[in-house]
Amino acid sequence: MDANALRNLLSNFNDTCLTPEIVLDIAGTGVQGRLNETEFMRISPLFVYYMNNKTCQGSRPTLEAAMNGLLRNNGLCYERLTDIITSITNNEEYEQSCKNTFGAGKILTKSCLSDPLQIGYAFGSVLKSVIKVECALPSVRWFKEGVLNYYNKTENATISETEFNVLLTKLKIGTKAGQVSSHEGHRRRRSVDDHDDEKKCYSSDDIISMVGGKWGFPLSKLLETCPVIMQQVLTDSCVGETAKTVKP
Amino acid, res. 45: P
Beta bridge partners of 218: 158
Query: Mean of the pLDDT values across residues 141-154?
Result: 79
> Which pLDDT tens digit goes with each residue over 162-216?
888 888 888 888 765 444 444 444 443 334 444 556 678 888 888 888 887 778 7
| CA atoms of 46 and 12, how far apart (whole Å) | 14
Strand duo 97-102 + 134-136: pairing? parallel
Place 15 in a pLDDT band, splitting at 50, 70 and 90.
low
End-to-end CA separation in angstroms for the chain: 60
Half-sphere exposure (Cβ direction) of 144: Cα atoms closer than 13 Å: 12
Query: Mean of the pLDDT values across residues 138-155?
Result: 78
| CA atoms of 161 and 106, how far apart (whole Å) | 38
Instruction: Note the pLDDT of residue 94.
Output: 66
Instruction: Note the pLDDT of residue 237.
Output: 85
Half-sphere exposure (Cβ direction) of 237: Cα atoms closer than 13 Å: 22
> Which pLDDT tens digit goes with each residue over 65-102?
899 999 999 899 999 999 999 888 886 666 666 778 89
| CA atoms of 19 and 191, how far apart (whole Å) | 66
Instruction: Note the pLDDT of residue 122.
Output: 96
> Which pLDDT tens digit goes with each residue over 107-143?
998 889 999 999 999 999 999 998 888 888 888 778 8
Using a 10 angstrom Cβ sphere, with 0-12 exposed, 13-18 middle and 19 or more buried, the burial of residue 210 is middle
Q: Model-level pTM?
A: 0.68
Extents of the domains making up the chain: 3-136, 150-234
| CA atoms of 46 and 34, how far apart (whole Å) | 16
Helix H or strand E segment including 77 = strand 76-77
Query: Mean of the pLDDT values across residues 156-161?
Result: 80
The full DSSP string for 113-171 is: E--HHHHHHHHHHHHHHHHTTEEEPPPHHHHHHHHHHHHT--TT-EE-HHHHHHHHHHT
Instruction: Note the pLDDT of residue 206.
Output: 87
| CA atoms of 33 and 39, how far apart (whole Å) | 11
Residue count (the chain): 248
Nearest to 171 by CA among 77, 236, 90: 236
2: DSSP letter:
-
Cβ(85)–Cβ(102) below 8 Å: yes
137: DSSP letter:
P
Instruction: Note the pLDDT of residue 41.
Output: 92
